[in-house]
Copies of this chain bind each other. A is one copy, B any other.
Amino acid sequence: MSQDLRRRLFDELESIALIDPHTHINALQPAAVSLADILGYHYYTELAHSSGLARERIEEPGLSAKEKVARIVGSLAPLENTIQYSWFVELAQVLLGFKDDRLTPNNWEALFNAAHQQMAQPDWSAKVMKQSKLEAVILTNDFDDPLAGWDTRVFVPCLRTDDLVFHFAKSSVQERLQRASGIAVKNAATMRQAIGKLFQHFTSKNCKLCAISLPPDFSPTKVDAASADRAVQAALESGGTISAAHRRDLSNFVFWMLTEFCAEFRLPFDLMIGVNKAVYPGGVYQGQDLFDSRTSLVQYLELLNAFPQVVFPISVLASVTNQELMTFAWIFPNVRTKGHWWYSNVPVYIEHDASARLEAVPWTKQIGYYSDMYKLEFALPKFRMYKRILAKILAERFVINRGWSEDRALTLGRDVLRNNVDRVFFGKTG
């Protein structure tokens, strides 16, 4: 009975048109062009590598798409239990007509060829979006992205700011900022002018949020003007090397300034908290990062108190930080819970974390899910995974445990799955 109920709720959730509130889609090339774009996703390369496939085999220069897929397929067997593998199988079955439930050395080539053909159709992206019920996706754009050449109502820009906050000591970043803003940064004041230009440009192109990913030890604080100036000077003169103290002041200064611009331009500031970059340097591309569970949202108290007018959708990388996130959204008017990020995007953790939010955070403040995808094909299986879990939570915790009607439970489901994306990023009310 509980399983029938879950299925009914899932079927209803499946009918909802989606806006994916965080992706890494390239708007100029949103869908895959071959199976190598699918199986080259870091979830597969890193798991294949951690199961024994050498990085050099995966990342060999000049490797054809077909040979790359052949090599990865040869190392997929150890992954067949993983939820990540299930994403692949589900998208292959639904979008590509794959009939099996495993990809093996015996059946991959047929799928590769069929995919190649389908992906070459001019309407492939549109078809994938339609089958996935995707109305729009929010992108992750470099601060110097021209944001030209696509419909920004469908592929909605997002100003990603990691480079500005953490890598401004690199001359390449300085040069990119000058080119993008038309302003030569000489000090803190001109840096503020330059970044202001970015916000003008981005918001003129339908940008709906600013975003950043943050290491576990980051604890933003307001720095005084003199320290900010010294840090900017140090970065400009550094040739890439800069003292730890200057680096910290610089990050804090830029981060705080970005938040001020978010206030001025009325943009939510998406905080993705907890990633330790490049801790396994021997890993494959995008498969070198982990987290540290000894992180706390306490590190963000000064920020959240200083900017009551800025909305902060927050993602945490560690499930053990989710209860803090729940309580911060419970208490702070300017906090939103957002999705289940990366290493917490695993069913057992999604269920535990989403249950807590659904039971104790006002429903208006919860953005249920985002795909984090690089290619459109992944929205379908990732959102389905989430919707199955959401259906389970609604069935068990609301219909069964609390006596709600299915309709009432579905209203809650619709809000966290879709309507709150409109509320938080597109200013819709009611």
User: Which residue numbers of A lie inside 8 Å of B, CB to CB?
Assistant: 3, 46-47, 49-52, 78-84, 86, 276, 279-283, 287-288, 290-294, 296, 298, 301, 304-305, 308, 318-321, 323-324, 326-333, 335, 343-344, 346-349, 352, 355-356, 358-365, 388, 392, 397-398, 400-402, 412
Of the candidates A282, A304, A331, the one having the most CB atoms from chain B within 10 angstroms of its own CB is A331
- Chain B residues lying within 8 Å of A291, measured Cβ to Cβ, are 324, 327
Tell me if A362 and B47 are in contact (CB < 8 A).
Answer: yes
Residues of the B chain whose Cβ atoms lie less than 8 Å from the Cβ of A361: 82
Q: Bound complex: CA of A6 vs CA of B287, how far in Å?
A: 36
- Nearest chain-B residue to A397 (Cβ)? B347
The answer to whether B293 touches A330, judged by C-beta atoms less than 8 angstroms apart, is no
Contacts of A402 in B (CB 8 A): 86
B360 contacts A82, C-beta separation under 8 Å: yes
A51 partner, pick from B50, B318, B365, B388, beta carbons under 8 A: B365
A327 close to B290 (CB less than 8 A): yes
Is the beta-carbon distance between B280 and A50 smaller than 8 angstroms? no
Q: Report Cα–Cα, A280/B335, bound state, in Å.
A: 12
What is the CB-to-nearest-CB distance from A56 to chain B, in angstroms, rounded to a whole number?
A: 13
Query: What residue in chain B is nearest A289 (Cβ atoms)?
Result: B331
Instruction: Point out the residue from B283, B330, B400 that lies within 8 Å of A47, measured CB to CB.
Output: B330
Q: Other than the known A78-B365, A280-B332, what 20 A-B pairs have Cβ atoms closer than 8 Å? A: A46-B331, A50-B335, A51-B364, A81-B412, A86-B402, A276-B298, A280-B304, A287-B331, A290-B298, A290-B324, A290-B331, A291-B324, A292-B324, A293-B323, A319-B323, A346-B360, A347-B397, A348-B355, A348-B359, A392-B401
> Residue A356 contacts which of B301, B348, B365 (CB distance < 8 angstroms)?
B348
Residues of B within 8 A of A294 (CB): 294, 296, 298
B328-A290 in contact (CB<8A): yes
Q: Which 3 pairs from chain A and chain B are nearest by CB?
A: A78-B362, A348-B355, A78-B364
Cβ-defined partner of A52 (8 Å) among B83, B279, B333, B346: B333
| Interface SS, A side | helix
Contact A363 B81 (CB under 8 A): yes
Neighbouring B residues of A359 by C-beta, 8 Å: 81-83, 346-348
Question: Which of B279, B305, B323 sits near A281, CB closer than 8 Å?
Answer: B305
Residues of B within 8 A of A324 (CB): 290-293, 318
Chain B residue at smallest Cβ distance from A76: B362
Given A82-B360, A320-B323, A344-B323, A332-B50 contact (CB < 8 Å):
yes
The reply to whether B86 and A347 form a contact with Cβ atoms under 8 Å apart is no
Closest to A102 in B: B408
A89 (CB) vs chain B CBs: closest residue: B402
Nearest-neighbour CB distance to chain B for A284, whole angstroms, equals: 9
B283 touches A292 (CB 8 A): no
A305 to B279, CA, bound (A): 9
Q: Known: A331-B280, A362-B82. Is A347-B298 also a contact (CB below 8 A)?
A: no
In the assembly, what is the distance between CA of A318 and CA of B349, in Å? 16
Give the most central of A50, A80, A81: most B CB within 10 Å: A81
* 7 pairs from A and B in contact (CB 8 Å cutoff): A46-B331, A79-B362, A81-B363, A281-B305, A282-B305, A290-B328, A347-B355
Residue of chain B at shortest CB distance from A347: B359
Q: Are B50 and A330 in contact (CB under 8 A)?
A: yes
A400 touching B279, Cβ below 8 Å: no
Select A78's contact among B323, B363, B401, beta carbons within 8 Å.
Answer: B363
Nearest CB on B from A73, distance (A) = 15
Q: Given A293-B324, A296-B292, answer yes or no on A80-B363 (Cβ-Cβ < 8 Å).
A: yes
Say whether A323 contacts B330, CB under 8 Å: no
Contacts of A365 in B (CB 8 A): 50-51, 78
